[in-house]
Amino acid sequence: MRAWITLAAAVLALAVPAGSAAQPVARAACSQDVSATIEGQHKCLGPGEYCKLRAERQYERYGFVCSTRYNPPRLRRK
């Protein structure tokens, strides 16, 4: 009887993945824009795109400024 229980436990252990193994996410290629990671998410940055003022320092890493000349704010090159 114990052999069956041990066998069943082993089969279940192999069938159920351990933890929440995250699958890799395919990233879209940015054809003309700059590929960037802003606030932990992949973004394609280009002039005129919407931006968030709180992520200003992150945009600067990629050569952009979040301009408040527009409402809502838009990206422009440094």
pLDDT in tens, 17-52: 555 555 555 566 888 899 999 999 999 999 999 999
CA distance 21 to 3: 30
What is the reported pTM?
0.62
Every domain of the chain and the residues it spans: 31-78
pLDDT tens-digit map of 44-64: 999 999 999 999 999 999 999
